[in-house]
Amino acid sequence: MLISCETNDKQSDSTIESPLRGSDTVFCDESIYTCFNNAMPVYQKAFPDAHITLFSKNARSSMTELFSEKTKSIIVARNYLPDEDSLLKQSGNSFQKIHIANDGLVFFVSKDYPIDTINMNQLTDYISGKIRLSMYFQKINSEPMLLIPGAQSSEYANAISFFSQLLRSAKNIAKFINSRDSIVFEVLKGKSIGLGYLSYVQKNPLLKSFRIGYIDSTGTRIPPQIVHQGFIIQKKYPFGIPIIAYLKEKRQNLPWGFATFMEKDPQIQKVLLDCGLIPVFAKYNLIQED
């Protein structure tokens, strides 16, 4: 006598989560949400049995969801904050990390702002509150306020990682505005500096990002140059930032399948690149313009 379990096996297979099927929610840093949401049709076409709901949330809240085990996966544009890193070390746990792409943290102003170039010392003095920017540049009529997209944003976290002084000086030199569109609106009035990502700023022809001269880790002087994806790829811009998928479980499940597809698929890479991000696994042909 032969007993067939084909029907039950099929039913069982359809409900078992794998890298290619199942249902899950991924919390995505609101600062880069649009880029990943643009890539979702490519993913959905490739894996019709995989149902990922991409949910926009600020970076800190996304991390909170992961730490509280309310989600298996998040995508945020930053590394761990010190308290998050300490908590992981104390618990003895760790999350799997998949580095999908990069972006650039930029300081942007309106196109007709009187300056477009600054060096690292001047920027550090301004952010620390030591010296007014208008002391360096007489063309500036009034001291600009630094506009930051929320204290829970990845932009603020990344800024602190580069300028720890900002934790103390923010109350004097900065203003937190949760809406990035509102920041652009204020910046276009010509009296403020916005903090944001290149992928967001470069789409607006009315804005420009400060060109920044600095000394790199080898002691080489890097002259100020236009803020462009190509210079971030060459590590000739000081504020490159990572876009990372953090996975709660270290196994090849649906969140892992989604993150690796976002990381390595050529069509996804093109969507992210067109959106202004810099996919880690893509190959680039850099052409030096005269």
Domain of 204, CATH number, reads: 3.40.190.10
Question: What percent of the chain has pLDDT above 90?
Answer: 87
Same domain, 88 and 110: no
Cα 210 from Cα 122, distance rounded (Å):
12
DSSP state of 80: -
Same domain, 22 and 42: yes
Whether the CB-CB separation of 129 and 106 falls below 8 Å is answered with: no
Same domain, 86 and 175: no
Same domain, 228 and 248: no
Same domain, 67 and 193: no
Question: What percent of the chain has pLDDT above 70?
Answer: 93
Which residue range forms the structural domain that includes residue 153? 104-239
Q: Is the pLDDT of residue 140 over 60?
A: yes
Whether the CB-CB separation of 54 and 29 falls below 8 Å is answered with: no
Assess if residue 158 is contained within a domain: yes
What pLDDT, in 10s, does the model give residues 55-103?
Answer: 999 999 999 999 999 999 999 999 999 999 999 999 888 999 999 999 9
What pLDDT, in 10s, does the model give residues 206-225?
Answer: 999 999 999 999 999 999 99
* Predicted TM-score of the model (pTM): 0.91
Same domain, 129 and 225: yes
What pLDDT, in 10s, does the model give residues 227-279?
Answer: 999 999 999 999 999 999 999 998 899 999 999 999 999 999 999 999 999 99
Cα 136 from Cα 112, distance rounded (Å):
18
* Buried-exposed string 9-21: b where 16+ CB fall within 10 A, e elsewhere: eeeeeeeeeebeb
The 3 state secondary structure assigned to 10-60 is HHHHHHCCECCEEEEEEEEECCCHHHHHHHHHHHHHHCCCEEEEEEEECHH
Give me the chain's average pLDDT, please.
Answer: 92
User: Tokens representing 266?
Assistant: 């050529």
Domains of the chain: total? 2
